[in-house]
Structure 1
Amino acid sequence: MAITDKIYVKNHRQLASQLETSFPKGAFKGATLDVLFQGEGLAKLDEASRERVLEFAEDFMDCDCQASPHCGCPERKFTRYLLELREQGLGPDAIVDVMGDDYMLYAYPGDVLSFLDDSVRTLEAVEALADVDGRGDVADQARQKRDELV
């Protein structure tokens, strides 16, 4: 299961009440993206919530894909965001706090830890395969990225 399947909308009930509709708690569920990011829904949100939703849309949903926002770009961008927070030295608890402050999203720190651990293991595998294939440049890049996450 992808980490983005374990990212949830903070204050879900409050937002559903303001929008006068129901939607899934999962931030990257299709119905959530549709409800929160259509123009008519935004107007119903209080100012603070609207600000966070707009920031999320600007940072993760800005792409030229025809299938946007259901193209996978928001999930890939959010995954990069989590990795960048880790590269800045933040641990799982701090990452959860930052994404809550930035975008009104939450996750369980254990899920974030598992994602980070999986990322390190994947980079280790890339490094080993690149070494076997004689691709020292790729191995070096994977090693550098892994070191930034550890």
Structure 2
Amino acid sequence: MAITDKIYLKNHRQIVSQLDVNIPKGAFKGATMEVLYSGEGLTNVDDATRERLLDFAQDFLDCDDPDDIYTGYPERQFVRYLLDLRAQGLGPDAIVDVMSDDYMVYAYPGDVLSFLDQSIRRLEAVESLAAVEGSDEMERRAREARQALSG
């Protein structure tokens, strides 16, 4: 299961009651994105919620081709965001706090830790494969990325 499947709307019940429509709790569920990030959905939520959801939409849903929203673009952008937070030295608890403050979404710290661990393992595999293939540049890039995530 991808980390983005484990990202949830903070204050889900409050948002549902303000919208007067039932939506999934998952931030990256199609129905959630459709309702919340359309102009109509945002007009029905309070100002503080609207501001954070607009930030989320701008940072993760604003793509050149509107069809990209259904091809994993938002999820890839969010993964980059998480990896960037880790590269800044934040641990899983701090990452959850920042994403909650920035976008009104949350995850469980254990899920974030598992995601980071899997990311490091994948980079180790890329590094090893690059060494076998003799791709020094790719090996170096994978090693640097792994070290940045390892802290």
Query: What TM-score comes out, normalization by structure 1 length?
Result: 0.98
Query: 1:146 is matched with which residue?
Result: 146
Q: Does 1:4 align with 2:15?
A: no
Query: 1:90 is matched with which residue?
Result: 90
Aligned-partner Cα distance in 2 for 1:111–1:127: 24
Aligned-partner Cα distance in 2 for 1:75–1:49: 21
Aligned-partner Cα distance in 1 for 2:25–2:38: 17
The question of whether the paired residues in 2 share the 8 Å contact of 1:130 and 1:139 is answered with yes
Query: 1:81 is matched with which residue?
Result: 81
Tell me how large the CA RMSD over aligned residues is.
Answer: 0.7
Query: 1:121 is matched with which residue?
Result: 121
Query: 4+ residue runs of structure 1 moved beyond 3 angstroms?
Result: none
Aligned-partner Cα distance in 2 for 1:125–1:69: 29
Aligned-partner Cα distance in 2 for 1:50–1:140: 42
Aligned-partner Cα distance in 1 for 2:17–2:68: 26
Query: 1:104 is matched with which residue?
Result: 104
Aligned-partner Cα distance in 2 for 1:23–1:68: 21
Query: 2:58 is matched with which residue?
Result: 58
Instruction: Structure 1: give runs of 5+ residues left out of the alignment.
Output: none
Matched pairs, number:
150
Amino acid at match of 1:58: Q
Percent of aligned pairs with the same residue? 65
Where 2:141 maps in the other structure, the secondary structure is: helix
Query: 2:133 is matched with which residue?
Result: 133
Where 2:43 maps in the other structure, the secondary structure is: helix
Report the Cα offset of residue 65 of structure 1: 2.2
Amino acid at match of 1:130: A
Aligned-partner Cα distance in 2 for 1:98–1:140: 30
Q: Which segment is superposed worse, 57-66 or 138-147?
A: 57-66
